[in-house]
Amino acid sequence: MNHYQNIEMQKVVRFWESQRTMTGLNNSDVELWKSKIEFLDTISMQHNVIVFLLDTFRNRFIYMSDKLKILSGVDPSFYLAENGIEFSASRIHPDHMQANLEILKLGVNLLTKHSKNYENNIFCYNFLYKNGNDEYVQVLQKSMILEVDDNGSPTLLLSFGHYVGHIKKHQSIGSVLATPHSITIYNYDHVKNVIGPPVTFSNRKRKLYTYYLRAMIQKA
């Protein structure tokens, strides 16, 4: 990793540091989530996804499914270490580092904005990430808030990682916010290095669009 890449990576690390909440999970919450680890492992294996939990108070991954090693060849222990956030950031493609940071900021802001109904909101984004073979592949990360503090800031994030190289162009990067009432798409403009204007679909429009696509497929 060259000097420029290291500087960009540290920006991502500092962003996560800036999200550190004033209070963390209490002991009962921690024990409760530890009791659900077996359940999370089952989800990971059955759905062929990587599942992980991020404690924003400690700024540490507190769970990373073993499926990571099977799907990507990377040992989960690297993420669970004290410098796990830094290790994760180092595997983002250099060309996607700035875009990833901007989308991370957007995602946290949007999820925090909807924190009163946080259990029903999901933020997804795709980007290039290095696997265990040192190959950059397209991954999709879906995140949701599990716990918030008294100020509505997220204290515990649950995320699912998927390989999406078969449906996403190699250099594409973008995000989607799904709420009970709408879906909003944000695409990243690599020319201007900014997130483009949001495109929102209400649930009604989404259903109509889905019906239209099904009708077109049946006619084909």
Residues 75-96: pLDDT tens digits?
999 999 999 999 999 999 999 9
The arithmetic mean of pLDDT across residues 141-157, rounded, is 86
To 5 degrees, how large is the angle CA 114–CA 118–CA 122?
90
- Nearest of 84, 107, 85, 90 to residue 173 by alpha carbon: 107
Asked whether the predicted pLDDT for residue 137 surpasses 90, the reply is yes
> CA-to-CA distance for 35 and 100, rounded, in angstroms?
32
Q: The pTM is what? A: 0.81
Instruction: Mention every residue, 6+ apart, whose C-beta is less than 8 A from residue 49.
Output: 43, 67, 160, 161, 162
Instruction: Mention every residue, 6+ apart, whose C-beta is less than 8 A from residue 163.
Output: 71, 137, 138, 139, 140
| Element of type H or E holding 201 | strand 199-202
The CATH classification of domain 3-119+126-171, taken from the options 3.30.450.20, 3.40.390.30, 2.60.15.10, 3.30.470.20: 3.30.450.20
> CA-to-CA distance for 194 and 88, rounded, in angstroms?
23
Q: What is the pLDDT of residue 206?
A: 61
Domain boundaries, the chain: 3-119+126-171
Asked whether the predicted pLDDT for residue 115 surpasses 50, the reply is yes
- Nearest of 176, 179, 178 to residue 187 by alpha carbon: 176
